[in-house]
Chain A
């Protein structure tokens, strides 16, 4: 790469040299007027440049493409991801044809039809048949691309299968918080942004019994392989965007408007480590909607594992109520008994008293 940079710099240097030498000639002849029959100034070398750049450009684009190819579209790990990858390369393949033809014609014609003395251009103002052809041909190609794209898009954005694993991901400045539906009821509880505080970071509403077994995680997301995963996406402060490059997943997180995206991951983290030969490989989730100072590092690890280890991991996680038993105070009286199941035994007994003694959930930051 340094060699190329050096080469480019060299080209620029040479051209700058040409500039300076030309400049001196030009300054000398600044008051000389062109005679009408003279060759237009610099026409020869500019014509030649078109051919030179055409050839050099073709070679360097081909070379750089082959050189950069290894990093293109990181290995897709979801079913729809491979489909959009194929579609991408299919479209790119089709579009390369006009790219080459059109640029070739522009450069070639510029060189071929450069000014010649005593020559006159052809008066050729229109040709309806030609214009019809190059209106219809692109229209047909577009129709093909629209159709394939539309099919893929409507499949990807269709409703998630009913058995999908539902996971909530919430963006805030500057990290993600993942919430799981819990092992007992497998339903995400309600939320309300007004309930957010320093511990209840996503505003879990504990008056909804579905929330009792919910658990959150601010550092990693686990998902099972080969099963549809439905991400319910939220934002707490400003716009964020969930981007999982390997899964070909991207969806904005919008305050006040929950969004969703479902996909089927089909390669576990372990599979990818073996496939890429990189023992430290990890899936990552990034933010792609500018959200402030920490935008560039809003990262969370994604772990794809087989169903059994995923279940095991979920079971090991402490529910929100287990971590912060003082929030029992927020559970309505009629559901208290049910909520007790999810509270650790030692915390459960003094739960009522702790709620009163610490003055409620909001002021118990010291417990962190």
Chain B
């Protein structure tokens, strides 16, 4: 089998490749690198750093909410003046924490860190390309993201604090510096950072799409693409259509803030002064924002689902159930993602008729989502499951996706949303279905492709323990949070002592906070495992999970260009696991049907005739153009 042949040649060529790369200096190799694999690692490491910052913030405000009497003086060395002399968190800074937590986690961790890492890493490796269509644009994409990160990070240290109007930055609060200290320089930097971030996403997204369409290797037709690639492709299309709308809303907000326009402002009297702005509409911003904001949920989630499809199939040793249905449901979700945005706005005073329309469209999304859930479960059914950490996180993702998705059916119902809108029920819902589920996709991806990224293995047992602590922790945090939401607790409240109706569930809030802190601590197991294994992990074998996809045919430490010699051709889909009659329980994509006569189905025997034609193509090799 050529996979095994590859193993032998790999070692030989590895030395040759290292030699080849000595020509590049440190800056070219690790910093301003155009190699998609290095860019992926840059995204991943930056994403992990942001995740540590973003989750730490949530721990601080969870302490404030769950343990309101605690003395936070020990945070003074980090937060300085934001902690009062009596050890209390500043209410303005509480809002800033909530805002930055949302922004960081949604955009910098789960968009850049997840999609940026795995789209970059896996697209060329799994479709059989030397690199992205434009390595330079890809590099630019990362550095725009880096610049956005630097600006956002700098805003954390402003005297008046970072942006603080919620991650949705609804004007007029975000437009008027006199309305909140966070709406001054903090918001200016937020907007600048997001504008650069959007540029980064667009550069990346165009590249992903072009690469998938144009650079597939010989024989890699769309119906042989792994579901990971399908999910990255659809994600990139979603981003390409929706991010420009966010950019426009951000630009208009910048105009309102600095150039005296009135896109979002009207009839405002603040600080003893009536503003001259008339005719604008704050609701317009919400429409523009959620036109990105809702697809964004799927931009975050779809890569996680794609990774899960691949990992679950590999480790169940079974083909993914309903490959075509999986693609169709992703396409369906992606399409519907664009026409449900106003379900975030049922109680904004929007025309109730629109509310009915959006309720109907929103609830339709449950159908393709249900198909995905059931298909994952059927893939597990009668499998031969290996509990690698990646597999555990994928199974966890399915559970979180379903549990969190179901409450979405409640919130998508406009009549029920009246009471639950902007309560902790919403917070619990989207943290399960989008936050935790996508984070699990990220973890699954890291554990699964770590050997390909760094040529070493992460520790399995630590990974398994990390999974269980995180999985249990997530449910311990968010199931009780639904209860708090059903009781009507509004979100973004600094404390719950002002109202009688929130004068309960003190113990429940404390429980949530403690569970959150423990789940946060569990992440250090991952961090240790990750960084330790980069340097000291066991050396990875060629194909550690006995997987079918193309990346495992590349050398263990692939150099620039990924494959030594010719790019492998592809003859079959990537899910030939446990095929009846086959010698082993997996047949990689690059094995022609002519070599597996014992396991071919009749229609596959017919495909043998096409192999010659597939082999003779070579127009996609960027390094070897004919």
Contact = CB atoms under 8 A, between A and B. Distances in A.
Interface of A: 1-2, 4-5, 8-9, 11-12, 15, 18-19, 22-23, 25-26, 30-31, 33, 40-43, 46-47, 49-50, 53, 57, 61, 64-65, 68, 71-74, 81, 84, 87-88, 91-92, 95, 98-99, 102-103, 105-107, 109-110, 113-116, 119-127, 130-131, 134-135, 138-139, 142, 145-146, 149-150, 152-154, 156-157, 172-173, 193-194, 196, 198, 203, 233, 236-239, 241, 243, 245-246, 248-252, 254-260, 280-282, 284, 286-297, 299
Interface string B483-507: 1001110111111101111001101
B206 to A, nearest CB: 33
B179 A46 contact: no
A297 B377 CA distance: 46
Of A123, A139, A299, most B-chain CB atoms within 10 Å: A123
Interface of B: 91-92, 95, 165-166, 170, 172-173, 176, 179-180, 265-270, 272, 274, 278-283, 316-325, 347-349, 352, 355-356, 359-360, 363-364, 366-367, 370-371, 373-378, 380-388, 392, 395, 398-399, 402-403, 406-407, 409-410, 413-416, 418-419, 421-423, 459-462, 464-465, 468-469, 471-472, 475-476, 479-480, 483, 486-488, 490-496, 498-501, 504-505, 507-508, 510-511, 514-515, 518, 522, 525, 536-538, 541, 575, 577-580, 585
A91 B511 contact: no
A146 B416 CA distance: 11
B355 to A, nearest CB: 6
Contacts of B409: 91, 95, 142, 145
A290 B95 contact: yes
A150 to B, nearest CB: 5
- Can you list the 8 inter-chain pairs with the closest CB atoms, starting with the nearest? A256-B266, A259-B349, A157-B352, A1-B507, A152-B415, A149-B413, A297-B498, A46-B387
Contacts of A156: 415, 418
A19 B380 contact: no
A198 B272 contact: yes
Nearest to B476: A8
B95 A110 contact: no
29 contacts: A5-B511, A8-B476, A23-B459, A23-B461, A30-B459, A31-B538, A33-B538, A40-B388, A53-B468, A72-B487, A74-B488, A87-B416, A103-B399, A103-B403, A124-B321, A134-B370, A138-B366, A193-B274, A237-B179, A239-B282, A250-B347, A255-B282, A256-B280, A282-B500, A288-B421, A288-B422, A293-B91, A296-B495, A299-B499
B262 to A, nearest CB: 9
A72 B487 CA distance: 4
Given A61-B479, A134-B374, A238-B179, A122 B538 contact: no
Contacts of B364: 139, 142
A106 B399 contact: yes
Contacts of A5: 510-511, 514
Contacts of A246: 501
A113 B386 CA distance: 9
Contacts of A115: 317, 384-387
A113 B355 contact: no
B363 A64 contact: no
B371 A135 contact: yes
A284 B166 CA distance: 24
A92 B410 contact: yes
B511 to A, nearest CB: 6
Contact of B483 (A64, A126, A152, A299): A64
A254 B508 CA distance: 33
A293 B402 contact: no
B278 A8 contact: no
B267 A256 contact: yes
Contacts, number: 387
A250 B421 contact: yes
Nearest to A65: B483
Contacts of A19: 462, 465, 525
A168 to B, nearest CB: 14
B465 A284 contact: no
B272 to A, nearest CB: 7
A299 B348 CA distance: 20
A159 to B, nearest CB: 10
A121 B384 contact: yes
Contacts of A134: 370-371, 374
Contacts of A72: 483, 486-487
B416 A84 contact: yes
Contact of A113 (B176, B380, B399): B380
B377 A102 contact: yes
Contact of A254 (B176, B349, B462, B578): B349
Contacts of B407: 95
Nearest to B492: A290
B414 A292 contact: no
A299 B91 CA distance: 17
A299 B265 CA distance: 25
A53 B475 CA distance: 11
B494 A256 contact: no
B335 to A, nearest CB: 15
A53 B349 CA distance: 44
Nearest to A107: B399
A71 B352 contact: no
Given A26-B459, A106-B399, A290-B492, A15 B469 contact: yes
A342 B622 CA distance: 86
B577 A121 contact: yes
Given A84-B418, A194-B274, A252-B349, 20 more contacts: A5-B514, A19-B525, A41-B460, A47-B385, A65-B483, A68-B508, A73-B419, A92-B410, A110-B395, A115-B386, A122-B383, A123-B580, A142-B367, A236-B268, A243-B422, A257-B266, A292-B173, A293-B92, A295-B494, A296-B91
A98 to B, nearest CB: 6
A299 B578 CA distance: 63
Contacts of A281: 500
A252 B272 CA distance: 23
A266 B67 CA distance: 37
Contacts of A154: 352, 356
Given A122-B578, A256-B267, A289 B413 contact: no
A245 to B, nearest CB: 4
Contacts of B381: 109, 113, 124
B359 A146 contact: yes
A196 B268 CA distance: 10
A239 B415 contact: no
Contacts of A293: 91-92, 95, 180
A239 B173 contact: yes
B486 A237 contact: no
Contacts of B580: 123
A271 to B, nearest CB: 16
A18 B465 contact: yes
Of B267, B274, B507, most A-chain CB atoms within 10 Å: B267
A118 to B, nearest CB: 10
Of B266, B395, B486, most A-chain CB atoms within 10 Å: B486
A153 B395 contact: no
Given A26-B462, A106-B377, A123-B577, A149 B281 contact: no
Contacts of B541: 33
A151 B479 CA distance: 29
